Structure 1
Amino acid sequence: MTEGLFYDTLRQGLLVAVTISLPILTVALLAGVAVGLFQALTSIQEMTLTFVPKLLAILLVFWVSMSFMTETLQDFFRNALIPLIAGA
């Protein structure tokens, strides 16, 4: 394995990691901003109010995008890593 091939595979792996995590992180950011705005407007400073809606939103998006994540990882392993391991 050459150095260039190693770095290219590493770059592909990082791109897959970013692609997979982007929906969950985006929803967590939007839910956090929405709850923070709600707390600022109503002066409610309850700690569980920030945690529960964000957790529910993350779980919902994870459940919806689980097939996309699985297909992306399988495609990466099937097309990038397995040929490297097999030496093809």
Structure 2
Amino acid sequence: MDQGVFYDTVRQGLWVAVIISVPILSVALVAGLVVGLFQALTSIQEMTLTFVPKLAAIVIVYWISMGFMTQTLVSFFQDTLVPLMISG
């Protein structure tokens, strides 16, 4: 395998990882900001208040975007990795 093909495959794999993680990370960011703002406005400093809503939002978004994540990973595997394994 040529070094250019290797680095291009690694770059594509990292890009797929970024695309897959964006929905979950963005929801975690928004939920953290909303809960932090709520805590600042109400002066409630409870640790579970930051953890539980963020975890619930992440689970819901994961559940919704699970099909997209699976489809993206399978297409990357079938379109990129399998032909490389067959050729070489």
State TM-score, norm by structure 1.
0.99
Paired residues, what number?
Answer: 88
- 1:14 corresponds in structure 2 to 14
Of all paired residues, the percent bearing the same amino acid is: 68
* Residue aligning to 1:70: 70
Aligned to 1:79: 79
Secondary structure, counterpart of 1:45 in structure 2: coil
2:13 is paired with a residue whose SS is helix
Query: Any stretches of 5+ residues in structure 2 without a counterpart?
Result: none
Kindly provide the amino acid, as one letter, of the partner of residue 22 in structure 1: V
Question: Pairwise mapping of residues 22-37 of structure 1 onto structure 2 (< 5 A)?
Answer: 22-37=22-37
CA apart distance, 1:41: 0.2
> What per-residue deviation string (whole Å, max 9, x for no partner) do you get for residues 8-51 of structure 1?
00000000000000000000000000000000000000000000
CA distance in 1, matches of 2:6, 2:46: 48
Runs of 4+ in 1 over 6 A off after TM superposition: none
2:46 paired with 1:46: yes
CA RMSD of aligned residues (A): 0.7
- C-alpha separation in 1, matches of 2:84 and 2:56: 39
